[in-house]
Amino acid sequence: MRIKGNTPLQDGFYMPAEFSPQEGCILIWPHRKGSWPHEAREAEPIFAEMICKLLKTETVYLVVEDKTCDRAKALLEKTASEKELDNLRYVHIETDDAWARDTAPTFVTDGHVVRGVNWMFNAWGGEYDGLYSSWEKDDALAASFCKELGVDYYDAADFVLEGGSIHSDGEGTVIVTESCLLSPGRNPNLGKAQIEDKLKAFLGAEKIIWLPCGIYNDETNEHVDNVCAFYGPGKVLLAWTDDKCDPQYEMSQKDFEFLQNVTDAKGRHFEIKKVLIPKKPVTVSEKDLLGYEFEEGEDVREVGERLAASYVNFYVGNGIVLVPQFHDENDENALKVIGEAFPDREVFGVDAVSLIVGGGNIHCLTQQIPASDR
């Protein structure tokens, strides 16, 4: 049911941290031919692997369509045990693409009850610089999902926001990037202060931290979940490079200096762990390009195009952290640093090369549902 009148902040609801206890996780089975080369055949086994890992400790809500359901079931029944499959729920809703982080609901809680938030989605920029020209199904997903599960939700559908553009510590602090939230393709009629007010009202936040930059060449206008993530209150992991010739160097330097000079909602200075990006840039190959089928009005790719590969685009589940791996010499360093940040969880490396060609990565494909008393 859509909640009318009050906002989450007024009702005492807030967005908990991703590392808080979860009931489950939402994923969408991939199918868009302009995102997933070769009809997603290379990406599908990676989706199945991620889902099976998550099923060990939480429920997975897998959004499917008639054209994808049979394929998903066939792969998952081969990969998962019967016990794990007991934690899998298929949710039949049509979508334009598979980026659950940006199109599924953001969830808030009062510590007992969980509710959804439905933002407006316009394909990362609408007519200004959006990545595809028709996004009605993706925009409708959050409300449809809440209705399907019987979860009450707040309607923020007059405000454009994607879940990948926000990170919460669960204690009143939300991190965003200026490059994304101030993009002309999002909410051009709102100033920075007005955007802050919206975020505070619908996320139950006390303070918004505005990082200047994200990851170089990130087509989402530099979502925060690709560059910086909480691993505890007052503690963040920041994407980094020591290569002064890399365009990411200056961007990460700006973020680091900014974080050193601000405090969170509780007045804490940030502890910062640096996570090196892949040493060798991840790019679109000729094989990848031959596998895409772009629709009219859809953003197209080219051979050699640098993709926004970052290890910070990890997902924290109950007892596990899924970390992207890019066949790069910095893969092991990422597992080590992120493992040190989450010593109470299994850190599992996921071959993410076939995911990044879609334009995003593990965190972009997942959306957590906090634990509740229901």
Catalytic residue selected from 25, 52, 228, 364: 364
364 is catalytic: yes
Strands 59-64 and 88-92 come out as: parallel
The angle formed by the CA atoms of residues 296, 302 and 307, to the nearest 5 degrees, is: 110
Cβ(265)–Cβ(172) below 8 Å: yes
Strands 153-160 and 167-168: unpaired
**Burial class, 65, CB count within 10 angstroms (exposed 0-12 / middle 13-18 / buried 19+):** middle
Positive or negative, the CA dihedral 46, 47, 50, 56 is negative
Pick from 169, 171, 170, 146: nearest CA to 157: 146
Smallest Cα–Cα separation from 124: which of 96, 154, 143?
A: 96
Structure tokens at 73: 């079931």
Q: Are 213 and 179 in contact (CB under 8 A)?
A: yes
38: left (phi over 0), alpha (psi -120 to 50) or beta: left
**CB 155 within 8 Å of CB 115:** no
CB-CB contact of 289 with 33 (8 Å): no
Q: How far apart are CA 115 and CA 164, in angstroms?
A: 18
**Mind telling me the catalytic residues?**
364
